[in-house]
Structure 1
């Protein structure tokens, strides 16, 4: 249960960073910002695994936070341009 709470808190931070970098007219509350960050982390993790594999036994990818924000930016761009 604590893992899910921690994942949502990190998702809020990642989503907020992405929304700060790419401001727009979307009105996302804190819940949707967290969902954006979590989904961005999945997209960023997929992108990271395309280029390099983490070391055996590593819990996180070295570029995890950066690629999570990149993944959230991709989703935010898609939300703004394809969602309308």
Structure 2
């Protein structure tokens, strides 16, 4: 059940990131889910590094959205012509 919940939160976080940061975004359902899940994982590790989260805690929904926005911004910079 935890995996399904993570995918659902990742999907919603990916959609919000695409809405907040418009442009030439990678498309499709799978890319949106992966963007959100990757953002959540990135936010979790950054939060552990900074000291915001303790061991075993993960980033919340806001952290997942912010992480997805950062990943999408990096994608825009990498594919800039």
Shared fold by TM > 0.5? yes
Gaps of 5+ in 2: none
Q: Where in structure 2 are the equivalents of 1:37-76 lying within 5 Å?
A: 37-54=36-53, 60-61=58-59, 64-76=60-72
TM-score norm. by structure 2 comes to 0.80
Determine if contact 2:44/2:53 at 8 Å carries over to the other structure. no
Gaps of 5+ in 1: none
| Separation in 2, partners of 1:28, 1:73 | 15
| Separation in 2, partners of 1:59, 1:81 | 30
What value does the CA root-mean-square deviation take over the aligned residues?
Answer: 2.1
TM-score norm. by structure 1 comes to 0.77
- The alignment of Structure 1 onto Structure 2 pairs a total of residues equal to 80
Runs of 4+ in 1 over 4 A off after TM superposition: 58-61
